[in-house]
């Protein structure tokens, strides 16, 4: 009986060691347990001078396959729709405390200071970009402003009139797959 008890105890200890061996920190993990997840976060490493150069490239009406990171980096404003109408929408602006990630508040927890009223310009272009998270490629097609609904993710190109108002010359509806 004692022999069986010792064998069971050895088996449990051995199984625990093998189970916990796979729970180590992944490669590239920091000391606080955070790891870099390139497929999860949207990286934006452009500087101010680079941003306008890319923005001018993306102000065209091009459709087809494009680099998703460039489209995102070139946008002047990113956000999720809170309210919408034929003349414009109100978006909850994407913010970031870190250079490599985008953060948007959950519904009901929006920061009033992060809300931006968007007015569509007279010749505003509407497009849809389906961005592959795995390869970072975006397929861009024409869209209509009627496609913009509550909770729609948008990339906006244009100018801020002030910190709370934005005039859009181009709107890209983003979807991630």
The tens-digit pLDDT sequence of the chain (177 residues) is: 666 766 677 666 666 665 665 555 454 444 444 433 333 333 333 334 444 443 344 445 566 778 888 888 889 999 999 999 999 999 988 876 555 556 565 566 566 667 899 999 999 999 999 998 888 899 999 999 899 999 899 999 999 999 899 999 999 999 988
Q: What is the pLDDT of residue 7?
A: 66
Instruction: Give the Cβ contact number of residue 82 at 10 Å.
Output: 16
Inter-residue contact 71 to 64 (CB < 8 Å): no
pTM for the model stands at: 0.61
What residues contact 65, with CB distance under 8 A and at least 6 apart? 137, 138, 139, 140
Residue from 176, 1, 175, 172 nearest 76 by CA: 172
Where exactly are the structural domains of the chain?
1-36, 48-176
Inter-residue contact 114 to 93 (CB < 8 Å): yes
Instruction: Give the Cβ contact number of residue 121 at 10 Å.
Output: 16
């Amino acid at each position: 009986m004692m022999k069986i008890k010792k064998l069971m105890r050895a088996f449990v200890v051995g199984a625990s060691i093998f189970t916990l061996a796979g729970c180590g920190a992944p490669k590239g993990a920091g000391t606080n347990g955070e790891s870099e997840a390139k497929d999860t976060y949207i990286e934006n490493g452009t500087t101010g001078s680079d941003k306008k150069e890319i923005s001018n490239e993306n102000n065209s009406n091009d459709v087809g396959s494009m680099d998703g990171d460039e489209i995102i980096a070139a946008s002047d404003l990113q956000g999720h729709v809170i309210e919408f109408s034929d003349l414009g929408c109100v978006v909850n602006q994407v913010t970031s405390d870190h250079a490599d990630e985008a953060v948007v508040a959950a519904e009901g927890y929006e920061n009033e200071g992060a809300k931006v009223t968007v007015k569509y310009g007279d010749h505003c272009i509407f497009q849809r970009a389906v961005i592959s998270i795995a390869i970072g490629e975006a397929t861009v097609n024409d869209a209509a402003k009627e496609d913009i609904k509550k909770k729609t993710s948008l990339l906006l190109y244009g100018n801020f009139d002030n910190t709370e108002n934005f005039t859009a010359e181009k709107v890209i509806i983003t979807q991630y797959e």
